[in-house]
Structure 1
Amino acid sequence: MSANLDLYGIFCTVARCGSLSRAARELFVSQPAISQSMHRLEEQLGCKLFTRTSRGIALTSEGRMLYSYADKAVSLVAAAEDKINRMRTLKSGGLMIGASDTLCQYFLLPYLKRFHSQYPDVQLQVTNRTTPETVELLKVGKVDIALVNLPVNDDTLLVREVLKVQDVFVASERFAHLKGRQITLEELSREPLVLLEQASNSRKYLDDFASMNGVTLHPEIELGAHHLLVQFARIGLGVACVIREFAQDSLIKQELFEIELINPVPLRAIGLISLEGVPLSAAADKFIQIVMKSKLV
């Protein structure tokens, strides 16, 4: 493009006003400055755009053709700048978040509510997938940020730890023989186990821990959601590995009891991730600030 956008904007104003002086008043600049800008545009395009008349100026045939395109282009750019400003000030735009069903239910919901109450004009979209699937969505731009089960070892990701969690084994009174004493993971592995599917990051973490202790876990039931683990354990279908922080209700009501392992599963974390080196949208940045600020309270 031989001329910059400012010159086209001035040109459209002059064409609409039909007068250099009126255009100068509208743009809050001097008339000589307007005239000089139009001369520069004509030189760059190699044609006359205006002719003088007794009533001011008129567009030439080249000027009319240019105006028919430039007016639309300048209006579109102005609209785009306005939309960007609205997005920057969180008066428009959207925020796409990836997370598992479990993390949505037990962690994400209050933050979504707080963000929406503060920025109701920002459209929220939440996509539920396992951690590995969510990471892939982030990498291909299908989500802006993601809430995942850590660890996630990937140099292309910026990881912010937001919550420490403890994986524990729980059971109903059907397994009272496991209650009130310490047991080994090997002994527990001989019980009917209810675990998450192998595709989940939480299951991989548990399997890796078991392997380090020379134990291979063979669950009788594999499920795709944490709340189902709790429900299956409550009706006595097996011993379930759950996140203690997300099973508090059933533990407090004594519908389940926590099994005491001699060698407990190490603490792990939940994290908010984004792409390393990629600037965040204003909405994503503000959402992360809300989560991290609450984490420090």
Structure 2
Amino acid sequence: MSFEVPNLTLLKHFVTVAEDKGISKAAKRLRISQPALSKNVKRLEEMLGTRLFERHSSGADLTPTGQAFFNRAQIIGLEYEHAVQEIRNLLSEQDATIRVAAGPVWSSTILPPAASRFHRRFPRHRLSVQTGPVDQLIEDLRLGRVDIFAGAVIAKSRLPGFTSRRVAKAQIGIMCAEHHPLAKVEGPVDPMELVKYPFVSFNLNRDVLKMLSDWLKERGAPPARYLLETSSLFTCAELARSGDYLFFESTMVAGSPIGQGLKVLKTDKEIFQYDLGFVFRQGMDRLPAHSGLMKAMVEVFENKGLRSPQNAAE
């Protein structure tokens, strides 16, 4: 069965209308008239044989088939942009930019020393590092906005057509200043003592906060009191280091320069352990520069003495 394939202009117009949820706003962004944009959307619907939008007085929403096509159209557009950029790089003999999505802890503790190692081997390659909530970083990877995800390799980071590689283990723990009263406790800290002190909340990791809540509940302790919320890992570490605040996050923080002066408190059992590693599109590890960056990050783990299981690909 043959059918007409939409061109890139139609795809771009469709994606813009979907993002702006209406013809009027999208037409302004695209700098074309509303009738011309409406005509192109209608033409695309006729080509696909389905309605892509539900129009209403305040704009337009995607239909179920429109949403499915939107997911694919985003990827097609990004793949085209990447192809054009790759050709430009080849023609101009420029080395590429490697785009990395890294969890906040990873980008603060692993990437800085790894970047130095990488640039000694690939001095002309540029690194573009993006950080934020894991859900958003994984979505950016799926859509091709980044090349490699580096961070917690958990269920939500496993994507069809991508490879997962585990390189180390990490754990979540409670940290405090070395002069904090709880730092003097030699054995496991009583949960009832923990909740007497305020916590600082690193609000990019909501899942982590729930882990602490569940752990305290299991031990009959009340919930932690979060007296400050911030999206800055550095602020969390500084508050814990300089005052009475406790900080619940990856214990990698305490072993990094930004966590200097922090101590990991002992608990009756490990609160949560997880895999660290990379997720990337299948075959990308065959590119020398991309493979070299991942190798540099693994070397940082080895230098830190973190346990590195045998690399596993899924």
Q: Same fold (TM over 0.5)?
A: yes
Pairwise mapping of residues 190-209 of structure 1 onto structure 2 (< 5 A)? 190-197=196-203, 199-200=205-206, 202-207=208-213, 209=215
User: Structure 2: how far apart are the matches of 1:278 and 1:214?
Assistant: 49
User: Structure 2: how far apart are the matches of 1:175 and 1:82?
Assistant: 54
Q: CA deviation at 1:97?
A: 0.6
Pairwise mapping of residues 209-288 of structure 1 onto structure 2 (< 5 A)? 209-210=215-216, 216-248=223-255, 255-275=261-281, 277=282, 279=284, 282=287, 283-288=289-294
Superposition RMSD in Å: 3.8
Q: CA deviation at 1:197?
A: 0.9
Pairwise mapping of residues 61-72 of structure 1 onto structure 2 (< 5 A)? none
Q: Aligned residue for 2:184?
A: 179
Q: Give the fraction of aligned pairs with identical amino acids, expressed as a percent.
A: 17
Distance change in 2, residues 1:285/1:192 (3 Å): same
Residue type matched to 2:239 in 1?
F
Q: CA deviation at 1:143?
A: 0.4
- Conservation of the 8 A alpha-carbon contact between 1:250 and 1:256: no
Superposition TM-score, scaled by structure 2 size: 0.55
Equivalent pairs counted in the alignment come to: 214
User: Structure 2: how far apart are the matches of 1:84 and 1:287?
Assistant: 24
Structure 1 stretch displaced more, 152-161 or 110-119 = 152-161
Q: Aligned residue for 2:102?
A: 99
Residue type matched to 2:149 in 1?
A
Pairwise mapping of residues 1-297 of structure 1 onto structure 2 (< 5 A)? 80=87, 83=90, 92-156=95-159, 157-172=162-177, 175-176=180-181, 179-181=184-186, 182-197=188-203, 199-200=205-206, 202-207=208-213, 209-210=215-216, 216-248=223-255, 255-275=261-281, 277=282, 279=284, 282=287, 283-292=289-298
After superposition, what is the alpha-carbon deviation per residue over 1:242-263, rounded to whole angstroms, capped at 9, x for unaligned? Answer: 433322368997x444332223
Distance change in 2, residues 1:278/1:185 (3 Å): farther
Q: Aligned residue for 1:34?
A: none
Distance change in 2, residues 1:151/1:205 (3 Å): farther
Largest Rg, 1 or 2: 1
Query: What are the ranges of 5 or more consecutive residues in structure 2 without an aligned counterpart?
Result: 1-85, 304-314
Superposition TM-score, scaled by structure 1 size: 0.58
Distance change in 2, residues 1:237/1:221 (3 Å): farther
Secondary structure of 1:146's aligned partner: strand
After superposition, what is the alpha-carbon deviation per residue over 1:30-70, rounded to whole angstroms, capped at 9, x for unaligned? Answer: xxxxxxxxxxxxxxxxxxxxxxxxxxxxxxxxxxxxxxxxx
- Conservation of the 8 A alpha-carbon contact between 1:185 and 1:263: no
Distance change in 2, residues 1:292/1:264 (3 Å): closer
- Conservation of the 8 A alpha-carbon contact between 1:230 and 1:242: no
Distance change in 2, residues 1:123/1:258 (3 Å): closer
Query: What are the ranges of 5 or more consecutive residues in structure 1 without an aligned counterpart?
Result: 1-78
Distance change in 2, residues 1:296/1:108 (3 Å): same
Secondary structure of 2:185's aligned partner: coil
Distance change in 2, residues 1:232/1:220 (3 Å): same
User: Structure 2: how far apart are the matches of 1:164 and 1:187?
Assistant: 28
After superposition, what is the alpha-carbon deviation per residue over 1:5-31, rounded to whole angstroms, capped at 9, x for unaligned? Answer: xxxxxxxxxxxxxxxxxxxxxxxxxxx
Residue type matched to 1:159 in 2?
S
After superposition, what is the alpha-carbon deviation per residue over 1:139-185, rounded to whole angstroms, capped at 9, x for unaligned? Answer: 11110001123434344153222332232222237741563253333
- Conservation of the 8 A alpha-carbon contact between 1:165 and 1:244: yes
- Conservation of the 8 A alpha-carbon contact between 2:132 and 2:204: no
- Conservation of the 8 A alpha-carbon contact between 1:144 and 1:280: no
After superposition, what is the alpha-carbon deviation per residue over 1:249-288, rounded to whole angstroms, capped at 9, x for unaligned? Answer: 68997x444332223323323221124x465572323322
Distance change in 2, residues 1:124/1:245 (3 Å): closer
Distance change in 2, residues 1:289/1:180 (3 Å): closer
